Amino acid sequence: MEKNLIEALQWRYAVKQFDPTKKISPEDLQFILSAGNLMPTSYGLQPFRLVVVENPELKEKLVEHSYGQRHVADNTYLIVMAVRTDINEEMVAEFTHRIEQIRQLPAGAVDGYKKVMVGDLTNRTPEARRIWAQKQAYLALGGMIAAASEKGIDNHCLEGFNPDRYDEILGLSERNLHATVIMAIGQRSEADESQHQKKVRVSEDQMIIRL
């Protein structure tokens, strides 16, 4: 059932127990992934990838590296948002080449922009580059939460997991990726008590500071 965004955000909650008999369709998954890909990022560089884990054995292996949280396995799809670890001149060149191709520009047309990006990013420490990439991934995550919730698709985000073990199990390091945050999607179980709990948020008067 489609909802307006505010209704959808009231309806959604961090699902603790998915109903394993109710599956999310591949089309609905695609909708969420498309939202993630369309979200804006700093410079437009999209320094992350959306890794979709459907394989039940693989998901099962992840549970013990996620503080035993069962919803890591008991979902229809687990989306692992992984940041690129190769944030370098080549990655920027890959991006500017894509701009030239898509916008049918002559080679070198965006070299000025490339120089700015390379100068900025390569001046940062590897740790600072990772933090920058993670911010972009979280922004996309926000869009994906909104997209899923508007479509009435239950979701739960987690950062309570061991990223290094995820990298190993999912073969992310070989792809120059590092697991950052995950989103499990599925359908809430009727037995999940959390759905009846009231939302806890600061009041809008506290949240919004008008100057």
Ligand X SMILES: Cc1cc2nc3c(=O)[nH]c(=O)nc-3n(C[C@H](O)[C@H](O)[C@H](O)COP(=O)(O)O)c2cc1C
- Cβ 197 to ligand X shortest distance, Å: 7
Mapped onto helix, strand or coil, the DSSP state of residue 21 is: coil
Query: Which 61-90 positions form the footprint of ligand X (CB under 6 A)?
Result: 69
The reply to whether 198 sits near ligand X by the rule CB under 6 A is no
Q: State the binding string over 152-191 for ligand X (x if CB under 6 A, else -).
A: -----xxxx--------------------x----------
Count CA atoms closer than 13 A to 98's CA, side-chain side: 9
**How many other CB atoms are found less than 10 A from the CB of residue 112?**
9
Closest C-alpha to 16, from 61, 63, 72: 72
Closest C-alpha to 16, from 138, 142, 154, 198: 154
Choose one: 57-65, 85-93, 151-159, 171-179; the region binding ligand X (CB under 6 A). Answer: 151-159
The reply to whether 199 sits near ligand X by the rule CB under 6 A is yes
Quick one: 117 or 183, whose CB is closer to ligand X?
A: 183
Residue 146, token pair as written in the block: 């909104």
Residues that bind ligand X (CB under 6 A): 13-14, 69, 157-160, 181, 199
